[in-house]
Amino acid sequence: MKTNKHIEKIVDKNIKEIVKNHLKESFNIDISGKYNIPKNAFFENGQPLIFLPNKNGAPVPIKKVRIKEFIGNAVKLKSENQFVNPSNNHHVIIYKDENGELNEQHIVTLWKAVERATKKLPIYSLSEQQTDKPKPVEIVATLEKNDMFILGLSDEKFTNNKDDNKILSKHLYRVQKISSLFYVFRHHLASTINNKNEEISIQSFKFWEEINPIKVEINLLGNIKKC
């Protein structure tokens, strides 16, 4: 627990007050506003510093607390009152459907990807049919954060310059963000993550075809190869 925001999430009101009073009295912290929690606030040399009296009045060390977290996209587990944070988006699959058109399978969260791996299922799969879309036929590309792509070169120009890293470097981007039909790529030499001049965002399959993303990998020698 590092800030006042974490303290306010403690479920047990009695324990919350004990923690606040401890911070106020032992560290002279103004608990009425924003504050940071000192690293040694709760433990010193591995020994707890705050206690809760049991039914007999004897002090019992408080080593952990239960907190309440509000998660808008929580996924319900089998148990009635168990939920999990699906975390960030893991990947998206771009595919060609039965009509020959490009389409997108629903975003797969990190939680879903881990669940598939645990069950020894393919991480990337079109087996989960989306009934509101034409049937998928062929995977065109998979996008996962930090995957590398060549953007803005035709297949022919890429082939002709496949051994020229100086040229390819100008068109080399990494996947920075993914959400439904909103893919943000940032140039691999970008020094910040906010400069719009160093990013390319794809928000339509028409632009996808124009920019022609080519997925690549970089070996230990720095050579760029098509995946």
pLDDT digits (tens, 9 = 90+) for 6-24: 999 999 999 999 999 999 9
Number of domains, the chain: 2
Could you read off the pLDDT of 49-85 as tens digits, one per residue?
A: 999 988 888 999 999 999 887 776 666 666 566 666 6
Domain-located, residue 78: no
Residues 178 and 125 in one domain: yes
Domain-located, residue 212: yes
125, 130, 222 from 134: Cα distances, Å: 16, 8, 40
Residue 100 has pLDDT above 70, yes or no: yes
Residues 99 and 57 in one domain: no
Residues 41 and 103 in one domain: no
Positive or negative torsion for Cα 36, 42, 43, 49: positive
Residues 93 and 44 in one domain: no
Residues 24 and 100 in one domain: no
Cα separation, 19 vs 67, whole angstroms? 13
pTM: 0.65
Domain-located, residue 69: no
Cα separation, 98 vs 43, whole angstroms? 62
